[in-house]
Chain A
Amino acid sequence: MPKVTIDGKEIEVAPGTRVIEAAKRVSVDAPYYCYHPGLSIAGNCRMCLVEVEKMPKLQIACHLQATDGMVVRTNTERVLKTRQHILEFLLVNHPLDCPVCDQAGECWLQDYYMKHGLYDSRVGEDKIKKPKAVPIGPTVMLDAERCILCSRCIRFCDEVSKTSELGIINRGDHGEIAVFPGKELNNPYSGNVVDICPVGALTDRDFRFKMRVWYLKEEDSLCNGCSRGCNIQVHYNLDRPHHTGGERVMRLKPRFNENVNKWWMCDEGRYGYKFHDQNRILQPVSREGKKFQEKTWEALIPEVARRISEGRTAVLISPQLSNEEIFLIRKVFAEKLGSQDLFLLSPNADGFQDDILIRADKNPNTRGAAELGFKTSPEALQNLAEQINRGEIKGLVVFGQDVYARFEKLGIKAELNRLAWSVFIGSNHNLMSESATYVLPSATYAEKEGTFTNFEGRVQKFNKVLEPLGQARSEWEIIEALARELGHGLSYAAAGEIFHELALAESFFHGMDYEKMTQGGSDIRSMAMPTIPALEQQDNLL
């Protein structure tokens, strides 16, 4: 194993390790733009030039392989001066339009200027004009003037999405990123080029100008868009509702997880966040004739509990629910109430799939439901429909799903009007919520915590990012309240307590620790960019 010394710190690394990686491991900061751990080495930005003993020229740390006895210095006068000038070169033709640039605040040119630049500009020449605000696809906007030609986006499209829409046209300082003639940047992973663009050249058409990024707050979470369970961050805004018409979730960003999604997420997941703020059910209601009447939780919970206890009630479990919620439903309805009528209804389980991230099953917890004993069975659902049609089932508990649409897709004919009553527990309106007897508003995944089990059997935790909108409550709290009302005193302070019980009860979950699961992923931006001691810099400014 080669042993290298970087700024006096010795480290042993695997053969073939790049110096930039070795440096990161001993917390030495070699700045870069073009390097990305998930892409091939381009070596074009030259920010990571370092001094190596016995080598007359400075070497780029991203390409240089660490060899035994190598002595690297990243902080000599020569390195710092060169770094400063590389930055100066990168800004020669940069338009410096930060005040109107959506990247401002998370721009590596700004950050590195404050850390490695801090020179007085001496560019007195006209800058080269290039196309600005060019939509190169449905999700991405290009500003060629801000581009530093690091080629990360090109390499992403060549190597990760394997769609190769992008290239560099023209030569020298007239070079610019462009889509090939007749093409547009429209692949299932387009949005990732915005994440990896270190400057304001590629911005997100969905997010552009919604909000300055320094107003955003962020919290780790999981994407619920398919059974991959990509690790994400939810970026949200609470303090300035007037900027965005009261909407809270502003954008989703992938979070690095070596075993699940690396640095990436798909566009379907990335832009599938609007339901957190749109079309929400905010208030418990009960049907009075053709109209809904607003009720309090205190009034409705006993009423629904009474209906459940009155006659045979079927429960349609959703793979959109967390492990804890499915476990709790099973515990209350099957174990405590002795019901045989629990069914899994899976929405959108046969969508688009590829061999990158996207799974055909658009539910985050199908595997978790299966491990808890619930699998989709068209025969069982057909059987249920027939019992409903014969009037044998009196009540129906639905979690979020549009049962009409699902049954129609499965070719099952159920006359739901034969039911004596139904309760819809969900976050967003649909046909089912419009026709149920009771509607109880529930939290979206960003408004509660819990775990999903992805298709590979990986159990991952998602955090509560936001308070539930309106009067919404998380499903496990609603079930717990119903159980209490039904005389089965359960009391969980948090989802973690349910998981603890679940891990003891179910062999699949044995040994798993809810608290440790928070370590599942890490922040994608800190993985892709060296840390910048922002506070130190601010002291300089003040």
Chain B
Amino acid sequence: MEKLISKYFVPGKTFSLAEFEQDGGYQAARAVFDKFPDPKALVEEVKKSNLRGLGGAGFPAGMKWSLVPQNTGKPVYLVVNADEGEPGTFKDKYILRHVPHLLLEGIIIAAYANNVHKAYIYIRGEYTHPYDMLQKAVKEAYDKGYLGKQIFGREFALDVVVHRGAGAYICGEETGLLESLEGKKGFPRLKPPFPAVVGLFGCPTVINNVETLSYLPYILNRGAEWFAKLGSEKNGGLRLFSVSGHVQKPGVYELPLGVSLREIIYTHAGGIRGDRKLKAVVPGGLSAAIFRADEIDVGMDFDQLRAKNTMAGSAGVIVMDETTCIVKALYVTMRFYGHESCGQCSPCREGTGWVSKILRRVAEGRGRTGDVNNLLDICSFMGGTTICALADGAAMPLRSYIEKFREEFEYYVKHGKSMVDGTALETQTLHDTSHMSHVGS
């Protein structure tokens, strides 16, 4: 299998502009002006490639671009979502750390396609090393004239600004990101209007993920049809799967969209650690519904996973072996959403916190009859009732963990300890909020 992006993932190495160019870098960006005198043709080309939004939503990239109005009299902005925060996902970090110029080349192409002259990269605050590498690459590109007033000597200006987030998961939600970028609290916006029409500073805005943009040079160099054929139906190309958990070889694997989950775990990630049995897999980042071990013969693309009532999401594959207590795993998961809910919408603000408190109590062995049913009931009013998808992202694991491993929850409530490891968590003292690290900050 040919590696495209991941061939640059050389441990300890960041490709400089010179090294990147030596390997054929920036050719696509340099050629785009003559190859597509009309940027609309470039948008069409990307549509043909079936490139999907690889941040998690899977929205067709070319289609997204074609929704941006070019006649408003306002500038169009490109915002790069590098706020990679979905637990179990770490592929953008690799790109930013090893080959930031590939992203910059993708940005130039996307900017040309959408008539953008200013792009913002919103990078996750905790990504300090990738930030340094990215900032260095931006400087190199400016020095070389690949960014700035006349890029590649053309009458096309493009400025790139790198902006660091401050650690909130919700700022990876595209409109929360825009608010944060504008200097406000990261509260997702009501839609419509969508960012394509009213985005950053009230202007039409294209928001793309790091990985999505990084595939653009390949599409231009080798053609949309070639790219489309790499993947499955309507799911073009390869994508980077972040595999973590109880596998022999965790890491980032670049594989075609539609590859089977079994192949990812057993062929590429080397199977389960210590010859234990597989118990469950989260297929697309923490917010995706979980699979049992007998459900892993599934094609990993946006449409096939949706048909299985879960999602391809950010392609963060979290593998759990038979020693995993699903109840405790769900508690940790829900604690995350309770901690990261922005607090705007009542069902999410109160629901995520409530659910994590119930699960904490259950995990401490203080569960009560009715807890499991209550969790499911609360869950059904958290999903689909809020401004953004965070509550849906919490509801999906909540429902699926309980429905697929209900006996473990019932056992834990009845016996006050885990069915898997026979233990319970220590009881937290009243109003101990130490697990909520943001309190008081």
Footprint of B on A, CB under 8 Å? 41-47, 49, 57-58, 63, 81-82, 85-86, 89-90, 92-93, 122-126, 128-129, 148-149, 167-168, 170-175
The segment from B147-155, B283-291, B348-356 found at the interface with A is B348-356
Q: Which residues on the B side are within 8 Å of A82 (C-beta)? A: 381, 385
CB pair A92–B354 under 8 Å, yes or no, is yes
CB pair A172–B349 under 8 Å, yes or no, is yes
Contact among A86, A128, A149 with B347 in the assembled complex (CB-CB below 8 Å): A86
**6 more CB-based (< 8 A) A-B contacts, given A149-B349, A171-B339:** A90-B350, A124-B361, A125-B361, A172-B339, A174-B433, A174-B436
CB pair B342–A93 under 8 Å, yes or no, is no
Q: Could you show 25 A-B contacts with beta carbons less than 8 Å apart?
A: A41-B190, A43-B345, A44-B344, A44-B387, A45-B346, A46-B386, A82-B385, A85-B378, A85-B381, A89-B350, A90-B350, A92-B350, A124-B358, A124-B368, A125-B357, A149-B344, A168-B185, A168-B343, A170-B438, A171-B343, A172-B340, A173-B341, A173-B349, A173-B354, A174-B436
Q: How far is the CB of A32 from chain B (nearest CB, A)?
A: 11
Encode B155-190 as 1/0 by CB contact (under 8 A) with A: 000000000000010100000000000000100001
Q: With A86-B381, A170-B439 given, is the CB distance from A92 to B353 under 8 Å?
A: yes
Contact among B346, B352, B374 with A46 in the assembled complex (CB-CB below 8 Å): B346
Q: Which chain B residues in 375-409 approach chain A with CB under 8 Å?
A: 378, 381, 384-387
Q: Which residues on the A side are within 8 Å of B350 (C-beta)? A: 89-90, 92-93, 173
Q: How far is the CA of A47 from the CA of B345 in the complex (A)?
A: 10
Q: How far is the CB of A55 from chain B (nearest CB, A)?
A: 11
Q: How far is the CB of B425 from chain A (nearest CB, A)?
A: 15
B222 at the interface (CB under 8 A from A): no
B431 at the interface (CB under 8 A from A): yes
B338 at the interface (CB under 8 A from A): yes
Q: How far is the CB of B161 from chain A (nearest CB, A)?
A: 25
Footprint of A on B, CB under 8 Å? 168, 170, 185, 190, 338-347, 349-354, 357-358, 361, 368, 370, 374, 378, 381, 384-387, 430-431, 433, 436, 438-439, 441
Contact among B190, B344, B385, B387 with A86 in the assembled complex (CB-CB below 8 Å): B385
CB pair B385–A175 under 8 Å, yes or no, is no
Q: How far is the CA of A427 from the CA of B438 in the complex (A)?
A: 57
Q: With A86-B346, A123-B354, A171-B340 given, is the CB distance from A43 to B190 under 8 Å?
A: yes
Q: With A125-B358, A126-B357, A174-B439 given, is the CB distance from A89 to B343 under 8 Å?
A: no
Residue on B nearest A174 in the bound complex, by CB: B439
Q: How far is the CA of A118 from the CA of B35 in the complex (A)?
A: 67
Q: How far is the CA of A57 from the CA of B389 in the complex (A)?
A: 12
Q: Which residues on the A side are within 8 Å of B430 (C-beta)? A: 126
CB pair B345–A44 under 8 Å, yes or no, is yes
Q: With A126-B431, A170-B439, A174-B438 given, is the CB distance from A89 to B342 under 8 Å?
A: no
CB pair A89–B438 under 8 Å, yes or no, is no
Q: How far is the CA of A148 from the CA of B343 in the complex (A)?
A: 10
Q: How far is the CB of A83 from chain B (nearest CB, A)?
A: 10
CB pair B353–A93 under 8 Å, yes or no, is yes
Q: How far is the CA of A148 from the CA of B339 in the complex (A)?
A: 18
Residue on A nearest B378 in the bound complex, by CB: A85
Contact among A43, A85, A89 with B387 in the assembled complex (CB-CB below 8 Å): A43
Q: How far is the CB of A64 from chain B (nearest CB, A)?
A: 10
CB pair B345–A46 under 8 Å, yes or no, is yes
Q: How far is the CB of A180 from chain B (nearest CB, A)?
A: 12
Contact among A46, A124, A129, A172 with B342 in the assembled complex (CB-CB below 8 Å): A172
Q: How far is the CA of A453 from the CA of B385 in the complex (A)?
A: 49
Q: With A44-B387, A89-B347, A126-B431 given, is the CB distance from A172 to B341 under 8 Å?
A: yes
CB pair A173–B343 under 8 Å, yes or no, is yes
Q: How far is the CB of A78 from chain B (nearest CB, A)?
A: 10
CB pair A46–B347 under 8 Å, yes or no, is yes
Q: How far is the CB of A77 from chain B (nearest CB, A)?
A: 13
| Chain A to chain B: the 4 pairs with minimum beta-carbon distance, closest first | A175-B343, A173-B353, A85-B381, A89-B350
Q: Which residues on the A side are within 8 Å of B387 (C-beta)? A: 43-44
Q: Which residues on the A side are within 8 Å of B361 (C-beta)? A: 124-125
Q: With A43-B387, A172-B338 given, is the CB distance from A85 to B438 under 8 Å?
A: no
Residue on A nearest B341 in the bound complex, by CB: A172
Residue on A nearest B185 in the bound complex, by CB: A168
Residue on A nearest B370 in the bound complex, by CB: A122
Q: How far is the CA of A47 from the CA of B430 in the complex (A)?
A: 31
Q: Which residues on the B side are within 8 Å of A172 (C-beta)? A: 338-343, 349, 352-353
Q: Which residues on the A side are within 8 Å of B368 (C-beta)? A: 124
Residue on A nearest B168 in the bound complex, by CB: A171
CB pair A49–B341 under 8 Å, yes or no, is no
CB pair B190–A63 under 8 Å, yes or no, is yes
Q: How far is the CB of A204 from chain B (nearest CB, A)?
A: 25
Q: How far is the CB of A317 from chain B (nearest CB, A)?
A: 53
Q: How far is the CA of A90 from the CA of B347 in the complex (A)?
A: 8
Q: How far is the CA of A31 from the CA of B413 in the complex (A)?
A: 37
Q: How far is the CA of A90 from the CA of B353 in the complex (A)?
A: 12
Residue on B nearest A45 in the bound complex, by CB: B346
Q: How far is the CA of A125 from the CA of B371 in the complex (A)?
A: 11
B378, B385, B439 — most chain A CB neighbours (10 Å): B385
Q: Which residues on the A side are within 8 Å of B353 (C-beta)? A: 92-93, 128, 172-173
Contact among A47, A90, A167, A174 with B343 in the assembled complex (CB-CB below 8 Å): A174
Q: How far is the CB of B379 from chain A (nearest CB, A)?
A: 11
Q: How far is the CB of A171 from chain B (nearest CB, A)?
A: 5
Residue on B nearest A89 in the bound complex, by CB: B350
Contact among B341, B374, B386, B433 with A171 in the assembled complex (CB-CB below 8 Å): B341
Q: How far is the CA of A85 from the CA of B351 in the complex (A)?
A: 10
CB pair B338–A173 under 8 Å, yes or no, is yes
Q: How far is the CA of A92 from the CA of B386 in the complex (A)?
A: 17
Residue on B nearest A90 in the bound complex, by CB: B346
Q: Which residues on the A side are within 8 Å of B340 (C-beta)? A: 171-172
Q: How far is the CA of A437 from the CA of B333 in the complex (A)?
A: 83
Q: With A86-B381, A173-B341 given, is the CB distance from A167 to B185 under 8 Å?
A: yes
Contact among A58, A90, A122, A171 with B385 in the assembled complex (CB-CB below 8 Å): A58
Q: How far is the CB of A61 from chain B (nearest CB, A)?
A: 13
Residue on A nearest B354 in the bound complex, by CB: A92
Q: How far is the CB of A87 from chain B (nearest CB, A)?
A: 9
Q: Which residues on the A side are within 8 Å of B381 (C-beta)? A: 81-82, 85-86, 89
Q: How far is the CA of A44 from the CA of B386 in the complex (A)?
A: 8
Q: How far is the CA of A20 from the CA of B61 in the complex (A)?
A: 35
Q: Which residues on the A side are within 8 Å of B347 (C-beta)? A: 46, 85-86, 89
Q: How far is the CA of A81 from the CA of B436 in the complex (A)?
A: 31
Residue on B nearest A128 in the bound complex, by CB: B353
Q: Which residues on the B side are within 8 Å of A175 (C-beta)? A: 343, 349
CB pair B346–A89 under 8 Å, yes or no, is yes
Q: How far is the CA of A173 from the CA of B348 in the complex (A)?
A: 9
Q: How far is the CB of A151 from chain B (nearest CB, A)?
A: 8
Residue on A nearest B428 in the bound complex, by CB: A126
Q: Which residues on the A side are within 8 Å of B385 (C-beta)? A: 46, 49, 58, 82, 86
Q: With A63-B190, A171-B438, A174-B436 given, is the CB distance from A125 to B346 under 8 Å?
A: no
Residue on A nearest B377 in the bound complex, by CB: A85
Q: Which residues on the A side are within 8 Å of B341 (C-beta)? A: 171-173
Q: How far is the CA of A533 from the CA of B143 in the complex (A)?
A: 71
Q: How far is the CB of B114 from chain A (nearest CB, A)?
A: 27
Q: Which residues on the A side are within 8 Å of B345 (C-beta)? A: 43-46
Q: How far is the CA of A102 from the CA of B346 in the complex (A)?
A: 23
CB pair A129–B190 under 8 Å, yes or no, is no
Q: How far is the CA of A467 from the CA of B386 in the complex (A)?
A: 52
Q: How far is the CB of B255 from chain A (nearest CB, A)?
A: 32
